[in-house]
C-alpha cells in the first residue's frame, strides 16, 4: 500500500512539474531573445476551441519567399527554410553572413515560422478586426540566436492592442 | 431485478440450489461487487462535463486578469486536485479516486492549452496531445478503470502517427500516406499492447490496449478496402505485402499474449488473413477487382466476430455484426449503383440481416458453443 501511495504521488507530480518546466522554458525564451517588430498582412480571424485567434502573413520585405528563383511556385512539399532579416534574403539552407535570421519551413508557397497566430479574446475579436483592417499592424517578436521566434504582442499603429481596445 | 437475481430465482425454482444458498450467493456478490457500471458511467460523464467546462473557461481567454495570475491559478488547481486525489487514495475511496484522476487528466490538457494561449505558441493540436499523453502516461497506467487508458492510448497513437505524417522526411518519401499511417497506428498499438502485457500493467490498461489494437486493425481493413476503389498500382509493392504479413503476425501475437484465445483461434486468424492477402494482391497484378477487397473485409470481420463469440463477448460480437451489415449494404451500392437496383438490394440485405439476427437469437447458445469448439 505504501509503495502504491508513493507511486501515486510521483504520478500526480510529474505532469505538474512538467507543465511548470514548460512554462518556465517558454518564459525564458520570450525574455531572452532579441525584440523585433514585423509588419503583418492578410488578416483572417477564425474560431477555434481554444478561443479566437488572428492568423496573418508576416511581411518580411523579402522577395521570392518559398518560390523558385524564377518566381514560379515549384515546391509542393514541406521543407526547412530561412529568412535573413539583415541583409534581407530567402534561403533553403542555413544563411551565411547573416546578422539575424528566422527559421521556419515552407508549406507550399507559405513560409511558416510559428509566429503566424495571435490569440485574442472573444469579446474583442470584431473590434480588433476592424482596427487592424483600417490601420497598419505589426507583431512584436522575441528572436533567438538559433532563428526560433516567439510572438510577444500585437501592435496597431505602434500601440499595444490592449491599450487601443481600452480607448 | 438484476441479472444475478433472475438467475438465482431461476435456479431456485428448478431446485438447482436452495433458497438459503441463493441468499448466500447474493450477499457474497453484493459485498464483492464492482462499482455499478451505470453509476460510474454517469459520474464520468459529469467529470467530463466539468473538465470540458474548465477548458472552455480557459479558452474564453480572460482579459481581466494577468497571464501570471491565470497560470498560478491553474497550477494551484492542479496541486489541489492532486492532493485531493491522494487523500482519496489514503481513505481507499476507489470511485472518487477514479473520478478525481479523470478530472486531473483533463485539466492537464486544459493547462497545456492555456500555456499555448499565453505564449501564442500556436502549433498543431497533435503537438499538444502528444505532450499531454507523455506527461500523463503514469495516470493511464495507474487507473483501475478502462476509460482513462482507452482515451490515453487513442490520443497517444493519433498524436504519434500525425506527427510522423506531418514531418518533412515523411512527405519526401511516402506519397500514399493514408494507408501507411493506418498500418503504423496498428503497429504502435500492438507494440504498446505487448509491452503492457509483458510489463504486467494494470488489467484495465491491458484491456484498453487490446481494444484499441482491434479497432486500429478494423480501421486498417476498412482503409485498405476504401483505397481499393482508387489506386491499385502501389499496392503491388513488395514492401506493402511484407508489412501486411508482419502486421498479421503481430496482431496474432498480441491476441495470443492476452491469453484470451486458444491456439486454433490464432491459426484461424492467420489463415483468414492469408486469404485476405491473396484476394487483395494477386488480382491486382492482372485485373483489379474492388469487390474482392470488400469480400476480404467482410471475411476479416466475420473472423473477428467468431473470435469474440468464442470468448462469449456478446457486445463486441454484436458490434462486429453491425459493421458487417454496414459493409454488405455499401457493397450493394457499389455493385449496382442505380437507385432502384440499390433499393431492391437494400431490402434484400435488410431481410438477410433480420433473418440472420433471428437465427442468431434462436441458436445463440449452439453457435457460441460451436465457435468455442472450433477455436479450442
pLDDT class of B200 with cuts at 50, 70, 90: confident
Contacts of B139 in chain A (CB under 8 A): 11-12, 15
Q: How many CA atoms lie within 13 A of B191 on its CB side?
A: 9
Integer Cα distance of B31 and B13 in angstroms: 24
The minimal CB distance from A50 to the residues B111, B116, B139 is found for B116
User: Strand pairing of A149-156 and A137-143?
Assistant: antiparallel
Angle between helices B125-135 and B94-118 (to 10 degrees): 140
CA distance B344 to B336: 10
Tell me how long chain B is. Answer: 376
The C-alpha torsion from B137 through B141 and B146 to B148, rounded to 10°, is -30
CB B279 within 8 A of CB B300: no
Asked if A43 and B171 count as a contact pair (C-beta separation under 8 A), the reply is no
Asked if residues B144 and B202 have their Cβ atoms less than 8 Å apart, the reply is yes
Report the chain B residue with the minimal C-alpha distance to residue A117: B122
| Alpha carbon distances (Å) from B176 to B40, B157, B170, B173, B224 | 43, 19, 11, 9, 12
Asked if the C-beta of A50 comes within 8 angstroms of chain B's C-beta atoms, the answer is yes
Question: What pairing do the DSSP bridges indicate for beta strands A57-58 and A51-55?
Answer: unpaired
Residue B170 has pLDDT above 80, yes or no: no
pLDDT reported for residue A103? 92
Q: Chain B 285-324, CB below 8 Å of chain A: which residues?
A: none
User: Which grid coordinates are listed for A69?
Assistant: 528563383
Which of the four pLDDT bands, split at 50, 70 and 90, describes residue A70? very low
pLDDT of residue B146: 82
Q: How many Cα atoms are found within 13 Å in the side-chain-facing hemisphere of A13?
A: 6
What is the three-class DSSP state of A122?
helix
DSSP string, B61-77: --SSS-HHHHHHHHHHH
Element (H, E) at B97: helix B94-118
- Higher-confidence residue of B267 and B367: namely B367
Rounded Cα gap, residues B308 and B357, in angstroms: 16
Hey, CA dihedral for A116, A119, A122, A124, is it positive or negative?
Answer: negative
Q: Which three cell numbers stand for residue A23?
A: 512554462
Q: Please judge whether A15 and B131 are an interchain contact, meaning their C-beta atoms are less than 8 angstroms apart.
A: no
B57-86 residues touching A, CB cutoff 8 A: 58-63, 71, 75, 78-79, 82, 85-86
Say if B227 is an interface residue toward chain A (CB within 8 Å): no
> Chain A contacts of B172, Cβ < 8 Å?
77
Tell me what the pLDDT averaged over chain B comes to. 73
Looking at the DSSP assignment, which residues form a beta bridge with residue B88? none
CA-to-CA distance for A137 and A160, rounded, in angstroms? 10
Quote the cell numbers at residue B128: 499538444
Contact B117 A23 (CB under 8 A): no
List of E strands, chain A: 34-41, 46-48, 51-55, 57-58, 79-86, 88-91, 100-107, 110-112, 117-120, 137-143, 149-156, 159-160
Which among A11, A116, A119 has CB closest to B117? A119
Answer yes or no: do B59 and A18 touch at CB < 8 A. Answer: no
A interface test, pick of B91, B112, B120 with most A CB neighbours within 10 Å: B120
Residue B265: C-alpha distances to residues B23, B195, B207, B311 (Å): 39, 22, 19, 10
Of chain A, the percentage scoring pLDDT greater than 90 comes to 20
Which of A16, A20, A51 comes nearest B117 by C-beta? A51
What angle is formed at CA A11 by the lines to CA A7 and CA A14, rounded to 5 degrees?
130
8 A C-beta contact, residue B143 and residue B205: yes
CA of B223, closest CA in chain A: separation in Å?
Answer: 24
Pairwise CB contact (< 8 Å): A16 & B75: yes
* Mean pLDDT of chain A, nearest integer: 80
User: Residue range B261-270: average pLDDT?
Assistant: 56
**pLDDT bucket at A71, cuts 50 / 70 / 90:** very low
**Cβ proximity of B78 and B100 under 8 Å:** no
Does the ipTM exceed 0.85?
no
What residues in B contact A16, CB-CB < 8 Å?
75, 78-79, 82
At B53 the pLDDT is 67
B77 Cβ contact partners less than 8 Å away, ≥ 6 residues apart: B107
Amino acid at each position: 500500500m505504501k509503495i502504491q501511495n508513493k507511486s501515486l504521488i510521483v504520478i500526480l507530480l510529474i505532469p505538474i512539474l512538467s507543465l511548470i518546466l514548460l512554462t518556465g522554458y517558454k518564459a525564458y525564451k520570450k525574455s531572452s531573445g532579441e525584440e523585433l517588430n514585423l509588419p503583418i498582412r492578410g488578416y483572417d480571424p477564425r474560431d477555434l476551441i481554444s478561443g479566437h485567434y488572428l492568423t496573418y502573413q508576416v511581411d518580411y520585405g523579402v522577395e521570392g519567399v518559398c518560390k523558385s528563383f524564377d518566381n514560379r511556385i515549384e515546391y509542393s512539399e514541406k521543407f526547412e527554410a530561412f529568412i535573413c532579416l539583415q541583409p534581407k534574403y530567402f534561403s533553403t539552407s542555413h544563411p551565411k553572413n547573416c546578422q539575424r535570421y528566422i527559421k521556419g519551413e515552407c508549406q507550399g508557397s507559405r513560409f511558416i515560422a510559428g509566429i503566424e497566430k495571435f490569440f485574442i479574446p472573444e469579446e474583442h475579436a470584431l473590434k480588433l478586426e476592424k482596427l487592424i483592417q483600417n490601420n497598419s499592424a505589426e507583431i512584436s517578436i522575441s528572436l533567438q540566436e538559433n532563428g526560433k521566434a516567439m510572438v510577444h504582442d500585437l501592435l496597431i499603429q505602434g500601440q499595444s492592442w490592449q491599450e487601443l481596445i481600452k480607448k | 431485478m438484476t441479472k444475478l437475481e433472475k438467475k438465482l430465482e431461476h435456479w431456485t425454482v428448478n431446485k438447482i440450489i436452495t433458497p438459503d444458498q441463493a441468499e448466500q450467493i447474493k450477499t457474497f456478490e453484493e459485498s464483492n461487487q464492482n462499482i455499478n457500471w451505470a453509476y460510474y458511467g454517469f459520474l464520468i460523464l459529469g467529470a467530463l462535463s466539468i473538465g470540458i467546462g474548465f477548458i472552455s473557461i480557459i479558452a474564453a481567454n480572460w482579459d481581466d486578469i494577468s497571464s501570471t495570475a491565470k497560470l498560478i491559478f491553474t497550477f494551484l488547481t492542479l496541486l489541489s486536485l492532486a492532493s485531493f486525489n491522494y487523500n482519496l487514495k489514503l481513505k481507499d475511496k476507489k470511485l472518487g479516486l477514479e473520478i478525481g484522476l479523470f478530472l486531473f487528466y483533463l485539466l492537464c490538457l486544459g493547462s497545456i492549452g492555456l500555456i499555448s494561449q499565453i505564449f501564442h505558441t500556436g502549433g498543431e493540436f497533435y503537438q499538444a496531445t502528444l505532450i499531454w499523453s507523455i506527461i500523463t502516461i503514469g495516470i493511464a497506467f495507474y487507473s483501475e478503470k478502462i476509460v482513462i487508458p482507452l482515451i490515453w492510448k487513442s490520443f497517444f497513437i493519433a498524436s504519434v502517427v500525425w506527427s510522423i505524417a506531418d514531418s518533412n522526411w515523411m512527405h519526401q518519401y511516402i506519397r500514399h500516406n493514408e494507408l501507411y499511417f493506418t498500418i503504423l497506428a496498428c503497429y504502435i498499438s500492438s507494440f504498446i499492447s505487448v509491452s503492457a502485457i509483458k510489463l504486467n500493467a494494470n488489467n484495465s490498461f491491458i484491456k484498453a490496449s487490446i481494444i484499441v489494437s482491434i479497432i486500429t486493425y478494423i480501421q486498417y481493413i476498412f482503409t485498405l478496402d476504401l483505397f481499393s476503389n482508387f489506386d491499385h498500382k502501389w499496392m503491388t509493392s513488395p514492401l506493402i505485402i511484407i508489412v501486411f504479413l508482419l502486421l498479421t503476425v503481430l496482431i496474432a501475437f498480441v491476441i495470443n499474449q492476452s491469453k484470451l484465445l486458444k491456439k486454433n483461434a490464432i491459426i484461424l486468424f492467420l489463415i483468414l488473413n492469408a486469404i485476405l492477402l491473396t484476394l487483395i494482391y494477386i488480382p491486382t497484378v492482372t485485373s483489379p477487382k474492388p469487390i474482392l477487397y470488400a469480400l476480404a473485409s467482410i471475411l476479416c470481420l466475420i473472423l473477428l466476430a467468431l473470435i469474440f463469440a468464442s470468448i462469449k463477448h456478446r457486445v463486441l460480437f454484436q458490434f462486429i455484426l453491425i459493421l458487417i451489415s454496414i459493409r454488405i449494404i455499401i457493397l450493394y451500392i457499389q455493385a449496382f449503383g442505380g437507385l432502384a437496383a440499390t433499393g431492391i438490394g437494400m431490402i434484400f440485405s435488410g431481410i438477410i440481416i433480420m433473418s440472420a439476427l433471428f437465427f442468431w437469437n434462436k441458436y445463440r447458445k449452439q453457435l457460441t458453443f460451436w465457435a468455442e469448439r472450433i477455436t479450442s
